[in-house]
A and B are shown apart, each in its own frame.
Chain A
Amino acid sequence: MGTFLVSIGIGLATAAILSLSAVAFTLEYAVSRVANFAHGEFLTIGAYAAYTGQTFFHQNVIAAALIAAAAGMVAGLVLNAGLIEQFRGRAGITVFIATLGASLILQNVLVIVYGAANVSYTFAQGRLHHVGPFLWTTSDIEVIFSALAVAGLIYVLLQRTRFGKAVRAVSQDRALAQVSGIPARRVVMQTWALAGAVSGFAGFVLADTVGTFSPTLGFSFLLLTITATVAGGIGRPYATLGGALIVGIVLQIAGTYTSSAYELVFAFLLLVVLMLFRPNGVFIRGSAAAVRA
């Protein structure tokens, strides 16, 4: 029982990072109807930006997090303006393949700049804390609370501001939003900036949690992100948060009792089961009829 609860505790930290990444992915999908394959690279860019930043800012974690978010934001803006908007009106799968190309480019640019070898931060992980039945390091706790804070921030942005209203309108129907006087292009831009910033931050905390990372950091996290997104229901931010929580904990438990090397195998199995039986997410009772993007 002790092992079980500890693994749930670690699962919560994973789930927190996963939820950030998945919410960003789902926001991108909501406004642009694009499953962004280059999403993983936003995380990687955030992680490396913080890596570069830490030498300038002398181990200040908050500064590193802000740099990661800023770099992710820039990446989101550039990808949207340079690629996604160029492909407006094209079939979803076409844009998907284009973002696959973008993923290849970004990943290899990072390889050229930083090298393919693993690097790591020098931030202290802190000591272990017993919080109730869970066993967390200081940075685990920081990760969980910062994820909660970011999720809360996204909630306030989407539900309580004009921007959030516009995002919801655009995600329902971009053309209709446009004719209603909403500057759709700008709203989409801002959403990508927000998603990029959240991803960049997620990349930083992910890299900090796993210890060492390489330019494939985000790419290997992408399948987990997509699984979490599908679990919640793609395009719906709050459901995605819940889905990420479930996926993170399930994977952690499965990994604890077998081997963490096979985490992605479980993610894949979970993904297949979800797509076959709950294609619209676990929170909607829906038929398993043909699923299209």
Chain B
Amino acid sequence: MYWVSIFTEAGIFAILALGLDVVWGWCGDFDLAFYGYLALGSYMTFVLAIGKPVPPVKYIIGWHLPVPIAIVAADVVVVGLAAIIGAIALRNLRDIYFAVTTLGAVSALYLIVQNYTPLFDGFNGVYGLINPGQAALRLTYNGYRIVLLVVVLAILFLAYLLVQRLSRSPFGRMLRAVREDERAAAAYGRTVFSAKYRAYLFGAALAGLTGGLFAIFISAFNPSAWTPQELLVIYAAILVGGRGNPRGVILGVFVVYTGFVELTRFLPSPASRPEFGPSMRQILIGFLIILMLRFRPEGIFRERPGVDREPGPGARLGPFRARAAATSAGSPPAGPAVAVAIGIEVQPRAAEPTDAGEGLPGRPSRGAPRDGHTDEDRGPQ
């Protein structure tokens, strides 16, 4: 049962990580508000599903919706919040300015939830969603937990299929092009804000869904469950697995999550110092982030370039590819990934001189043919 619980939690976080990877991995926006979306999704699921508050407990709404509907409705609220934050933060702000704005947003949300008790009962939080549907399905406690694991893994799989498909779609490639060079992408007719905004809302929707699942899983939620530091574990997992690679991201979550839980379970946690174990875990996460960034920023699995079945439209973007590749030098997924992001195929091993992505950086190689690819380039990806 212990492992069922661990895997359920890891599965839930893997869905969250997939959403976060769309925002950070594909768009390059380092979002610190993301865990707030999970939290809001969780809170909203509670207040929509557990019925009227019993004094002195206070919270808003207090409906008695069926849990799946509550999760969907909660998700709508989450996307609404993301629409506001995204509209402010994504329009002009990038990099650390974006990160700081989102940090401010989540801090503000945290303070309001904590101090304004009529919202979600302040620091006490909300609770009472205990194994919804267990009676209806006539399951034992353990049986219910296993069913929950299966449901979570099924949703994870569906989310993976969706994200994977999106990753290879023109939309996914456009996001990566925008990440590598906004001005160039804009010059080629991409609306930068709209692209980033849609991706941001998609990521937030996954986070809100995760919040709903999390509500069922832990059956109580209060501000101590979503301190800003929680998000760093997810970032560490994405870094380990491979930013921009959905499969790597899922693997990263399972490795980091189960790995750290298992490792830190055996740490001594004396009664006089109950915080020793969790703190040790945070310290290890911190080191993991720094070491991955320093020595292997692309993670275990690299971001895999998408494949365009029709090379036609992409080929027109020849000079753009060179510029995008040149300006991306230094950021983790450089080179061929860029070229492919906007719809051109490049095989990493095909290092032919005409490939501007591997040629001299700085300016487009004039001599290169517009479509610098032979048929051999198009191997299986």
B276: A residues at CB distance < 8 A: 112
Contact at A101–B100, with CB atoms within 8 Å?
no
A96 contacts B by Cβ under 8 Å: yes
Contact at B92–A94, with CB atoms within 8 Å?
no
Q: How many residue pairs between the two chains, A and B, have CB atoms under 8 Å in the bound complex?
A: 139
Looking at the assembled complex, report how far the CB atom of A260 sits from the nearest CB atom of chain B, in whole angstroms: 10
B28: A residues at CB distance < 8 A: 93
Interface members, chain A 89-108 (any B CB < 8 Å): 89-94, 96-98, 100-105, 107-108
Looking at the assembled complex, report how far the CB atom of A292 sits from the nearest CB atom of chain B, in whole angstroms: 5
A289: B residues at CB distance < 8 A: 92
Q: In the bound complex, what is the Cα–Cα distance between A20 and B232 (angstroms)?
A: 28
Q: In the bound complex, what is the Cα–Cα distance between A272 and B89 (angstroms)?
A: 8
A293: B residues at CB distance < 8 A: 94-97
A267 contacts B by Cβ under 8 Å: yes
Looking at the assembled complex, report how far the CB atom of A172 sits from the nearest CB atom of chain B, in whole angstroms: 20
Q: Which of B107, B279, B294 contacts A108 (CB 8 A)?
A: B279
Contact at B30–A97, with CB atoms within 8 Å?
yes
Interface members, chain B 224-255 (any A CB < 8 Å): 229, 232, 235
Contact at A101–B103, with CB atoms within 8 Å?
no
Do A97 and B235 form a contact, CB below 8 Å, given A104-B283, A108-B282, A290-B92? Answer: yes
Could you say which interface size class chain A belongs to?
35 or more
A262 contacts B by Cβ under 8 Å: yes
B151 contacts A by Cβ under 8 Å: no
Contact at B94–A104, with CB atoms within 8 Å?
no
Contact with A along B265-309 (1 / 0, CB 8 A): 000000001011001101101111110011001000000000000
B275: A residues at CB distance < 8 A: 111-112, 115-116
Contact at B280–A112, with CB atoms within 8 Å?
yes
A93: B residues at CB distance < 8 A: 28, 30, 95-96, 99
On A, residues with C-beta under 8 Å from B are: 35, 83, 86-87, 89-94, 96-98, 100-105, 107-109, 111-112, 115-116, 223, 226-227, 230, 259, 261-262, 264-265, 267-269, 271-272, 275-276, 279, 288-293
Could you pull out 19 A-B pairs where Cβ atoms are within 8 angstroms? A89-B330, A91-B330, A101-B288, A104-B229, A108-B279, A111-B279, A223-B104, A226-B100, A259-B115, A262-B112, A264-B104, A264-B108, A268-B104, A268-B105, A268-B107, A275-B101, A292-B94, A293-B96, A293-B97
Known A264-B111, A265-B111, A293-B95; 8 more pairs at CB < 8 Å: A87-B293, A104-B289, A108-B280, A108-B286, A109-B279, A112-B273, A116-B279, A268-B107
On B, residues with C-beta under 8 Å from A are: 28, 30, 88, 91-97, 99-101, 103-105, 107-108, 111-112, 115, 182, 229, 232, 235, 273, 275-276, 279-280, 282-283, 285-290, 293-294, 297, 330-332
